[in-house]
Structure 1
Amino acid sequence: MALDEIKAQICGKWKLDRSENFDDFLKELGLNVVFRKMAESAKPVVEFTIEDNTIKMISKVSFFNQVINIKLDGEYQQSFEGTEMNCNSKWENNKLITEANPIDGKGKTQKFQRERVNDELVQTMWVGDVVCVRTFKPTD
C-alpha cells in the first residue's frame, strides 16, 4: 500500500540542508522581496506523519508554521502562500507528486515532487519555467 511505502520512505523530521533556485521560485510566484529574503534565510524543519489515511506535512521556521494535509488519488483544496489551490497528489515510483492549480485563476500552477535519495529528502518544485530543488537531512 502507498501509505506504508510513504511511511517507510519520508515520514519523520527533516531539516533543510541546501536550496537551489529558491529565490527565483518565490519571485516567479510573485512574492515580495522582504518575504523572499526571510524565506531564503530560514532553515525549516519539515515533519511528515500519516493520520487517518492523510499525509500531514508540518513545516516549521522561526517566523512561520504551515500544515499541509495531503490526500492521495483525489482532488483536495490547500492554501499555498495565501492562494487557494485545487491539488491532486499521487505516490508514483517512490515519489510523492503533487500538482496544485489556483482556484481563482490568480496564482500560478505549481508542482512538487518529494523523494528520498539515499539519506536525504529531495523536494523539487516547479512554477512556470522555474525549477527549485531543496534538500533536507534527517534531524537528530
Structure 2
Amino acid sequence: MEQFMGTWKLTASENFDEYMKAVGIGFASRQIANLAKPSLLLSVDDQGLISMKSTTTFKTVEIKFRLDEEFDEITADDRKAKTVMRLVDGKLVQTQNWEGKSTTIEREVQGGKLIVKCIMDDVVSMRTYERDE
C-alpha cells in the first residue's frame, strides 16, 4: 500500500465520459466531472484505516476503509454502493456494487504515476495521476 500513499493530481483522462455513461451518470453531472481535475490524497491512520480523499473545485469525496472489508460508499455521483477494496498483484482494486450493477476501479503505480483504470461492462477509461509534491 505504501506506493499509493501521498497526494496525486489528475494529468490525463481517456474515455471517462463513456465510462460515466455506462455507469448511468446523467449529462449535467458528466459535464462537471469532465471539467474537474481531481486531487487524490491517500493516507493511513494509526489503526490501519485507509483514507482516499478526492478533491475538486466542485466537490470533495472521502472514503475510509480496510482492505478486504465491505463498506457502504456514497460515490461522487451519489450512488449508494457496497464497496470492497483489495490489494491484488500490486494493484488497489475497488469493486462497487449497486442496484444489481457492478464496476471495478483498478489503481496501480507505474513509473511514478498512478494509473486508474475504470471498468464498466466493456467500457474502459484510463486516468493518469502524477505526484503532487
* TM-score greater than 0.5 by the shorter chain: yes
| Cα distance in structure 2, aligned partners of 1:55 and 1:133 | 23
RMSD: 1.3
Per-residue deviation, residues 23-49 of structure 1 (Å, max 9, x unmatched): 001111222212111111111100000
Per-residue deviation, residues 69-90 of structure 1 (Å, max 9, x unmatched): 1321222211122121112221
Percent of residue pairs identical: 28
SS in 1 for 2:67: coil
SS in 2 for 1:86: strand
1:87 maps to which residue?
83
- Long gaps (5+) in structure 2: none
1:49 maps to which residue?
43
- Long gaps (5+) in structure 1: 1-5
| Cα distance in structure 1, aligned partners of 2:54 and 2:22 | 21
2:10 maps to which residue?
16
| Cα distance in structure 1, aligned partners of 2:24 and 2:112 | 33
Which portions of structure 1, spanning 4 or more consecutive aligned residues, are displaced by more than 4 angstroms?
Answer: none
1:3 maps to which residue?
none
| Cα distance in structure 2, aligned partners of 1:78 and 1:71 | 13
Distance apart, 1:128 and its partner CA: 2.0
Q: How many residues align?
A: 131
Alignment of 1:88-107 (within 5 A): 88-102=84-98, 105=99
| Cα distance in structure 1, aligned partners of 2:58 and 2:83 | 25
| Cα distance in structure 2, aligned partners of 1:120 and 1:97 | 16
